[in-house]
Amino acid sequence: MSDTVTARKPFQRRTLGWVLLEFLGSMNLAITLLVVVAVASIIGTVLQQNQSYPDYVLKFGPFWFETFDRLGLYDVYGAVWFIAILGFLVLSTSVCLYRQVPGMAREMVRFRTQVRLESLRGFHQHAEWWLPEQLPGSVLAEVTGAFRARGYRWRVQDHGDHQVAAAMKGRYQRLGYLFTHAAVVVIGIGGLLDGNLWLKLKEWRGEIAVETRDLAARDVPPVSRLAPGATPSFRGNIMLPEGSAANFVFLRLRDGFLVQELPFAIELKDFQVEYHATGQPKSFVSQVRIHDREHLGDRPLEATIRVNHPLIYRDYAIYQSDFGDGGSKLELRIWPLTGGRLEPVEVKGEVGGALKVAGPAGLFGLELTEFRLFNLMPEPGARPGDRKFRNFGPSVGFKLRAPAGEAREYLNYMAPVQLEGRWFFVSGVRARPGAEFAYLHIPADANDSPERFLRFNARLRDEEGLRALLTRAPAPTGNPDFQRDLAQVRLNLVELFLQGGFAAVTERARAVVPADRLQEATKLYLEILRDTLAEVFIEVLRAEGMKPEQGVGEREDAFFNDALSALATLPAYGSPFYPQLTGFQQVEASGLQVTHSNATGVVYAGFAFLSIGVFLLFYTSHRRLWAWIAAEEGGSRLILAGAGNRRQAEFAREFAALETVLARRLGAPEPRADN
Amino acid sequence: MAVTREAMLEPWEQPAFWRRLTIWDALWTLLVAVGASYAGWFYRAEMDGYEVAILFGGALALIAWGLYWKPARLFALAVALLALLALWRYGTDYELRKSDFLLKYFLESQAAFMWMSALYVLATVAYFAALFSRSEFVGKTATALTWSATVLGMTGLLTRWRESYLLGADIGHIPVSNLYEVFILFALITALLYLFYEDRHRTRAMGGFALLAISGAVAFLLWYTFDREAHHIQPLIPALQSYWMKIHVPANFIGYGAFALAAMLGVAYLLRQRAETRHPDGLLAVVLPPLELLDDVMYKAIALGFAAFTIATILGALWAAEAWGGYWSWDPKETWALIVWLNYAAWLHLRLTKGWRGAPMAWWAIVGLFVTLFAFLGVNMFLSGLHSYGTL
Ligand code: HEM
């Protein structure tokens, strides 16, 4: 900036306003703010924004949850302090513009014919000629001719003993500064207008209140509703099931929402997900109808909305942003897992709805939370890089709420899944949202049904039947007491096993058997248990009409082992039922985002300024040339000097070329003193 | 001031721009125009209006690039010929990549990328060898290696573009859609930027440093290919199915490449400065690139990177407005782009208005690379958001 003159009167009065202006427009503040905004922005990328508040509590614990909430960290970019820093940056840039632009404008129009000889000689680019027998007038003509040839504009001023021709080119570089910095201000203001400033303002004035209850849109009270046009801009979402319509969207705000009404209704006719052969989604397409009596009359507007292809209707833009379930109709067979009788209950429900199911300790709530038609997942046992995927078919997700209120989440696959060559009904369970699922693998029987396993399980829990079975055979030693005791031991072992798996059995052994005989005794216990279970299993097979006396096949053997593993995980499974998905009718829902913005044009204008501005700044250069011509005894003296405010190397080359041209016409310049 | 030969030949009147153009320039322009028109006609069924606009915009940019920097022409021609050769060998059968000799060993995209990787690593070694041996021949070899690697890499990308369509018309897309593909783009752009500065400043001293960044990218690529098998062509997820990707991503990578180059020059700067103070007579103090050169090119690279990054971020915002419903959502990737941008804005102000030079700016450029790297890689690895470039 060697050639920028910032003329300030030496004895200006330091009023408060001046000091403030000086501070706001200072380069140090500007650079500090640039860095501070950058650093503050990091927070919101590290801490996931706008999640549900209970999730935050779980993640951080009550103390930090509270602290972070106070600091506004769950919505950093809407936090007052963050907006204030951004505001400061914009303010600082404005002040900077205010102070620089007049100087720059002067730079653009002034030719600076007032220069001193010494300063010209001090320029990095300068050359000096002693031209005997030449008149200043003809030298001036040569020089200005050279200026003209290179596209410079110039002014000549006569200072009496010498003349100065001051030339310049590329003064639009200065506009680069103006464009770039004005763009920052314009984008900042536009962004602010498009942000949720209006909502904040309304909230602050008490005109609206965020709704935090889980209400249907029609039940939301007026204080949480916004009429069309209540704020100049918004961005809201709606999940529309196929066949339904809505004339509002939800605006998420902190831990709640507001309902923004629309001046038209969107009806979702159809939502389609297409898949590639590999199972990845290929397209999400919503067929919608816009109903708007006022503008469209009775003929709704038909439109297709896809990702990257929004629908613009009036001043509203409607985007494909999400998809989900719109209340698929499900048929379930609820198998009891804890009783001695196997009587399944058939129920029907809808995703999003809840059912009541009688359980051992009262009524359980079965909340159907999701249905998925495809479950594309990595092939079990594949390495991460293998990229082998398998479609595990339809699944139902539900929450089972015990009478006491606590709930667990389950995920059941409809079709049996093949693992290591055998087929299983898979059901995942987790106690906390976001935790990993633990899986129960129920072996599938020959009819592709979980029934055999469930009958086996029920049989084991039917104490009377079991006792009858175990005492049925004649006592081996003819000692009925022994037989009765043995039967009791076997019953106890089965019960232990059903309550806590194999671990419970070994634990019991540890509790009652002296240490030196523990190993032996545990082994014996497990053997007895296994024999007992096998005996019951054979009974189950017999009831199916098989003839176990003629030998049990390998398949049944494997089934038995798998059934034992499943039985052993049942206690951890924690549900008194196994709800089997037996039928479904999928209803999809499309997540649409509706936006309305009044400052997009402002921001885009800022973008245009910025793009032009940076290129002007970097790739043009405001160049000045001076020719000082003085008549001396016997000839003339010419001093040529120049400077550019950018692209020094290019300017040096240009100056050298000019010098060469003049040298060809006027003769060689004098050798430079500083070379 | 030394008077260059060009300056000696400078006529009195500087002729208008178009009168300075030679017959070669005209031929170049014609060739690109005809090539682009032919491509546009050939693929007319595949393209919508935006894509036609991008094709011709790209052709104009290519013409301008070739006029501005002559070596670009030879490069573009070599790439075009090799890519056409690959397309011709392929015909419509993707499986030929396993049997056709030319494809299997040279032109199939994986093969081309392997050649590219090997050549870049060799070029790195050669540049350093040239630096210390001060052999002109070794230096020329290094330059040739870098050019060859870049030609093959670019050919590989173009071939991959075609391969994706051979896999299925609905799978086809420009190969800038995932981390694997953009890493190749990064290496190529960084190399081209470096080659430009090498040519303009007539020195190979910076080569080793620039190529070190590229070799780093190559190392990542190899790991990504062999350990993660990331090289398979994947169909595009719906969010990326947009013409914006064609301009947003390359613009971004001009930025990333330029910033990476600047950081490597910063390293060279610090090494040279250390060498000069500690062992002024040592080899390092002589062979490493001079400080003024490094300072100058570092500034130019950051300025170019900043301009490109500004455009890229704006394009990203426009795309976001079309895909997500708003030009700015404070998505982690967007936010990190802003952080990178602000960081270099601070750098530029320090240099231009506060006149900072030397070591602090070099350090800042190096730190800037880590910030950039986080925006480019870290966000995908550690943070979740709307950007779907996928995780590692
Ligand atoms: C987000 C905010 C800002 C951005 C993106 C920005 C961008 C830029 C850019 C790209 C340059 C050109 C640098 C070069 O040519 O090397 C520049 C120059 C400059 N900036 Fe900023 N700037 C910002 C804020 C500010 C602020 C707040 C001030 C006031 C203190 C300021 C004062 C200047 C000045 C005085 C110049 C030199 C102009 C010249 O001599 O041509 N900038 N700015």
Average pLDDT, chain A: 87
| Residue whose CB lies within 8 A of the most ligand 1 atoms, among A5, A93, A189, A645, for a mutation test | A93
For residue A215, pLDDT over 90 is answered with no
Do the Cβ atoms of B238 and A30 come within 8 Å?
no
Separation between Cα atoms, residue B391 and residue B386, nearest integer Å = 12
pLDDT at res. A12:
57
Chain A residues within 8 A of B306 when measuring between CB atoms: 614, 618
Tokens of A82: 């963050």
Pocket of ligand 1 contains residue A38 by CB under 6 Å:
no
Distance of CA A632 from the midpoint of ligand 1 (Å):
45
Do residues A128 and A635 touch, judged by C-beta distance below 8 A? no
Do the Cβ atoms of A191 and B328 come within 8 Å?
yes
- CA A283 distance to own-chain centroid: 19
Separation between Cα atoms, residue A96 and residue A177, nearest integer Å = 11
Separation between Cα atoms, residue A324 and residue A371, nearest integer Å = 9
Separation between Cα atoms, residue A365 and residue A349, nearest integer Å = 12
Do the Cβ atoms of B235 and A278 come within 8 Å?
yes
Phi, psi of B386 (to 5 degrees): -80, -25
Distance of CA B199 from the midpoint of ligand 1 (Å):
30
For residue B7, pLDDT over 70 is answered with no
Nearest to A657 among B10, B317, B332 (CB): B10
Stretch B365-391: mean pLDDT, rounded? 76
Do residues A349 and A355 touch, judged by C-beta distance below 8 A? yes
Stretch A309-330: mean pLDDT, rounded? 90
Separation between Cα atoms, residue B362 and residue B296, nearest integer Å = 11
The residue ranking higher by pLDDT, B13 or A599, is: A599
Residues in chain B: 392
pLDDT tens profile B351-366: 988 878 889 999 999 9
For residue A147, pLDDT over 80 is answered with yes
Give pTM, 2 decimals: 0.84
Percent of the residues in chain B that have a pLDDT greater than 70, as a whole number: 93
Distance of CA B290 from the midpoint of ligand 1 (Å):
28
Percent of the residues in chain A that have a pLDDT greater than 70, as a whole number: 95
pLDDT tens profile A528-537: 999 999 989 9
Which parts of A129-241 fold into alpha helices (H)? 136-149, 173-194, 197-204
In B, minimum Cα distance to A661 occurs at B12
pLDDT tens profile A616-659: 999 999 999 999 999 888 889 999 999 998 888 889 989 999 99
For residue B389, pLDDT over 50 is answered with no
Separation between Cα atoms, residue B13 and residue B2, nearest integer Å = 21
In B, minimum Cα distance to A591 occurs at B324
Gap from B291 CA to chain A (nearest CA, Å): 15
pLDDT at res. A92:
92
- Closest by alpha carbon to B192, among B75, B78, B113? B75
> Distances from the Cα of B49 to the Cαs of A303, B43, B54, in angstroms?
20, 12, 9
Do residues A293 and A251 touch, judged by C-beta distance below 8 A? no
For residue B120, pLDDT over 70 is answered with yes
Binned at pLDDT 50, 70 and 90, residue A469 comes out as confident
| Dihedral sign for Cα atoms in the order A595, A601, A602, A607 | positive
- CB count in 10 Å sphere of residue A367: 17
pLDDT at res. B3:
40
Separation between Cα atoms, residue A39 and residue A32, nearest integer Å = 11
Whose CA is closest to atom 34 on ligand 1?
B353
Separation between Cα atoms, residue A636 and residue A135, nearest integer Å = 6
Whose CA is closest to atom 42 on ligand 1?
A93
- Helix (H/G/I), strand (E/B), else coil: A260: strand
Separation between Cα atoms, residue B121 and residue B219, nearest integer Å = 9
Interface of A with B in 377-436 (CB under 8 A): 384-387
Whose CA is closest to atom 38 on ligand 1?
A177
* Residue B239: HSE in the Cβ half-sphere, 13 Å Cα cutoff: 15
Separation between Cα atoms, residue B44 and residue A194, nearest integer Å = 39
From the CA of B299, give the closest atom in ligand 1: 16
pLDDT at res. A457:
92
Tracing tokens 């979702």 back to the chain, one arrives at: A268
DSSP B46: G
| Dihedral sign for Cα atoms in the order A503, A506, A512, A514 | negative
Interface of A with B in 142-161 (CB under 8 A): 145-146, 149-151
Gap from A143 CA to chain B (nearest CA, Å): 11
| Dihedral sign for Cα atoms in the order B167, B172, B178, B184 | positive
Tokens of A527: 């053997």
When scoring B240, B243, B310, B376 by the number of chain A Cβ atoms within 10 A, the one with the most, hence best to mutate, is B310
Residue/partner pairs of A119-126 with CB below 8 Å, 24 or more apart: A120/A626, A120/A628, A120/A639, A120/A641, A121/A639, A121/A641, A123/A641, A123/A642, A123/A643, A124/A643, A124/A652, A125/A641, A125/A642, A125/A643, A125/A651, A125/A652, A125/A655, A125/B1, A126/A639, A126/A640, A126/A641, A126/A642, A126/A672
pLDDT at res. A479:
73
For residue A6, pLDDT over 70 is answered with no
Separation between Cα atoms, residue A169 and residue A644, nearest integer Å = 9
Beta strand A256-275 with A311-313: parallel, antiparallel or unpaired?
A: unpaired
Residue A35 corresponds to which amino acid? V
Phi, psi of A292 (to 5 degrees): -150, 90
pLDDT at res. A478:
66
Chain A residues within 8 A of B12 when measuring between CB atoms: 145-146, 149, 661, 664-665
Stretch B294-315: mean pLDDT, rounded? 95
For residue A593, pLDDT over 70 is answered with yes
Nearest to B7 among A283, A306, A653 (CB): A653
Partner residues linked to A642 by β-bridges: A125, A625
Whose CA is closest to atom 39 on ligand 1?
A177
Partner residues linked to A624 by β-bridges: A168, A643
Partner residues linked to A215 by β-bridges: none
- Helix (H/G/I), strand (E/B), else coil: B118: helix
Distance of CA A177 from the midpoint of ligand 1 (Å):
7
pLDDT at res. B392:
41
Gap from B371 CA to chain A (nearest CA, Å): 10
Do residues A333 and A342 touch, judged by C-beta distance below 8 A? no
| Residue whose CB lies within 8 A of the most ligand 1 atoms, among A6, A96, A104, A612, for a mutation test | A96
pLDDT tens profile B154-182: 999 999 999 999 988 888 899 998 889 99
Pocket of ligand 1 contains residue A25 by CB under 6 Å:
yes
pLDDT tens profile A360-395: 778 889 999 989 888 877 777 666 555 677 888 899
pLDDT at res. B94:
86
- CB count in 10 Å sphere of residue B147: 19
Do residues B198 and B289 touch, judged by C-beta distance below 8 A? no
pLDDT tens profile A337-365: 887 788 888 999 999 888 888 877 788 89
- Compute and round to an integer the Cα radius of gyration of chain B: 22
Helix axes B332-352, A27-46, angle to 10 degrees: 160
> What is the predicted ipTM?
0.91
Chain B residues within 8 A of A31 when measuring between CB atoms: 346, 349-350, 354
The C-alpha angle with vertex B170 and arms to B168 and B176, in degrees rounded to 5, equals: 95
Partner residues linked to B11 by β-bridges: none
Chain A residues within 8 A of B303 when measuring between CB atoms: 618
Average pLDDT, chain B: 89
Residue B224 corresponds to which amino acid? Y
In A, minimum Cα distance to B304 occurs at A618
Distance of CA A166 from the midpoint of ligand 1 (Å):
27
Separation between Cα atoms, residue A406 and residue A402, nearest integer Å = 6
Q: Which residues contact B303 (CB under 8 A, 6 or more apart)?
A: A618, B348
For residue B386, pLDDT over 70 is answered with no
For residue A197, pLDDT over 90 is answered with no
Residue A629 corresponds to which amino acid? I
Pocket of ligand 1 contains residue A673 by CB under 6 Å:
no
Separation between Cα atoms, residue B186 and residue B206, nearest integer Å = 18
pLDDT tens profile A496-531: 999 888 888 888 888 888 888 888 888 988 999 999
Separation between Cα atoms, residue A391 and residue A371, nearest integer Å = 15
Stretch A165-188: mean pLDDT, rounded? 94
Separation between Cα atoms, residue B113 and residue B180, nearest integer Å = 11
Separation between Cα atoms, residue A578 and residue A453, nearest integer Å = 11
From the CA of A25, give the closest atom in ligand 1: 30
- Helix (H/G/I), strand (E/B), else coil: A458: helix
Gap from B58 CA to chain A (nearest CA, Å): 18
pLDDT tens profile A234-291: 989 999 999 999 999 999 887 889 999 999 999 999 999 888 776 678 889 999 999 9
- Closest by alpha carbon to A610, among B368, B299, B308? B308
pLDDT at res. A321:
87
Stretch B326-332: mean pLDDT, rounded? 87
> Distances from the Cα of A602 to the Cαs of A78, A187, A233, A599, A605, in angstroms?
20, 7, 13, 5, 5
Separation between Cα atoms, residue B149 and residue B117, nearest integer Å = 7
Nearest to A595 among B306, B325, B332 (CB): B325
* Residue A561: HSE in the Cβ half-sphere, 13 Å Cα cutoff: 6
Binned at pLDDT 50, 70 and 90, residue B13 comes out as low
Tell me the DSSP string of A330-379.
Answer: EEEEEEESSSSS---EEEEEETT-EEEEEETTEEEEEEEEEEES--EEEP
For residue A675, pLDDT over 60 is answered with no
Distance of CA A617 from the midpoint of ligand 1 (Å):
9
Distance of CA B174 from the midpoint of ligand 1 (Å):
36
Separation between Cα atoms, residue B180 and residue A412, nearest integer Å = 36
Do the Cβ atoms of A610 and B171 come within 8 Å?
no
Interface of A with B in 13-72 (CB under 8 A): 27, 30-31, 34-35, 37-38, 41-42, 44-46, 48-49
pLDDT tens profile A121-144: 999 999 999 998 888 898 999 999
Kindly state the helix (H) or strand (E) to which residue A319 belongs, with its residue range: strand A316-325
Nearest to A38 among B3, B306, B342 (CB): B342
Tokens of A636: 């003339």
